[in-house]
Amino acid sequence: MSVNLVSVIVPCYNQAQYLDECLQSILEQTYSDWECIIVNDGSPDNTKEIAQKWLAKDSRFKYVKKENGGLSSARNYGINIAIGKFILPLDADDRIGSEYLEKSIAVFKKESWTKLVYCKAEKFGAESAVWNLPEFSLDSLGYFNMIFCSALYRKSEWEKVGGYDVNMIYGLEDWEFWIAILKNGGGVKQLDYIGFYYRIKNNSMIRELKAEEKKYLFEYISVKHADFYVKQYGSFMALNKTFQDYKKDCSEGIIGRKKALNLFLKTFFGVSLFKN
């Protein structure tokens, strides 16, 4: 077994109609040192039949089936049996570019401190467009996720944090996972290469999140990673004082509107819109 084997983990639940396209994108990789584990997460469709066809086509494809447990559970199941040093999660309805693995592994070989490599992306399906992802920063990661699920990382990082959190039952499990592996340091590299293709569907999981589900997920992440949030943004009392000072200065006309907006965005989201 190569020391740079990549295990591509493809959970599948009611996505059999897209599976061929997904697996074809793996087969076309210019980097040949990979295995692909297709995880049937108790899917009621013909996932097994589609998967078996690919197993016959190339021995690097593997197939396992488990009881339905959700996306985090399915990814963990596949990663647990993976033999690769590196992991690439890939949802069954998405695709990757042919050079994605090759370019990602090249970064890890060159920059040993790197924890995570991802690339530029495009949307396809119900919407076709370049996916303009905000630039990564650890500050911004606490407020929103700018890294899609299909980033390459070492299996050892997954082991350190205990895998994907199965308590993220409504989604956003990728965001929580990135916080978990990155909050104590480590490099992140975005390739200057469009190598991920994200399928847009009219009934995607994120679009269907209800207000109470989002509230649960946000509160869960905030409590689980309270150490990260305090380290990055300060205590609740410190944040509240900054916010109260901001409101006071605005009400007294001490700072201009653009400066006020910049102060608010910088304090609470780590970004600025206007130059000083």
Amino acid (1-letter code) at residue 81:
I
Of 1-10, 117-126, 166-175, 234-243, the least confident: 234-243
Give me the numbers of helices (H) and strands (E) for the chain, helices first please.
11, 9
| Residue 157: alpha-carbon gap to chain centroid | 14
Instruction: Give pLDDT, residue 210.
Output: 84
In this prediction, what percent of the chain has a pLDDT beyond 70?
A: 82
Task: Calculate the average pLDDT of the chain.
Answer: 88
Task: For residue 202, name the pLDDT band (cuts at 50, 70, 90).
Answer: confident
Residue with tokens 């467009």: 129
Fold (CATH) for 6-228: Spore Coat Polysaccharide Biosynthesis Protein SpsA; Chain A (3.90.550)
* CATH 3.90.550.10 domain extents, the chain: 6-228
Amino acid (1-letter code) at residue 8:
V
* CA 96/CA 85 separation, integer angstroms: 19
- Residue 172 makes CB contacts below 8 A (sequence gap 6+) with 145, 206, 217, 221
- Asked if 37 and 78 touch (Cβ cutoff 8 Å), the reply is yes
* CA 35/CA 25 separation, integer angstroms: 13
Q: For the chain, list the strands marked E by DSSP.
A: 6-12, 34-41, 61-66, 86-89, 95-96, 114-125, 129-131, 152-154, 187-200
Examine the pLDDT at 229 and tell me if it is beyond 80. Answer: yes
User: What are the tokens at 15?
Assistant: 């996505």
* CA 274/CA 261 separation, integer angstroms: 9
Instruction: Give pLDDT, residue 201.
Output: 83
Give the orientation angle of helix 257-269 with respect to helix 236-251, to 10 degrees: 170
User: Burial, 10: exposed, middle or buried (Cβ in 10 Å; 0-12, 13-18, 19+)?
Assistant: buried
Examine the pLDDT at 130 and tell me if it is beyond 80. Answer: yes
- Beta-strand pair 152-154/114-125: antiparallel
User: What are the tokens at 44?
Assistant: 């009621």
Mean per-residue pLDDT for 164-179? 95
Rounded alpha-carbon distances, angstroms, from residue 70 to 81, 115, 179, 220, 276: 17, 25, 20, 17, 47
Mean per-residue pLDDT for 153-181? 96
pTM: 0.84
Mean per-residue pLDDT for 39-64? 97
- Beta-strand pair 114-125/6-12: unpaired
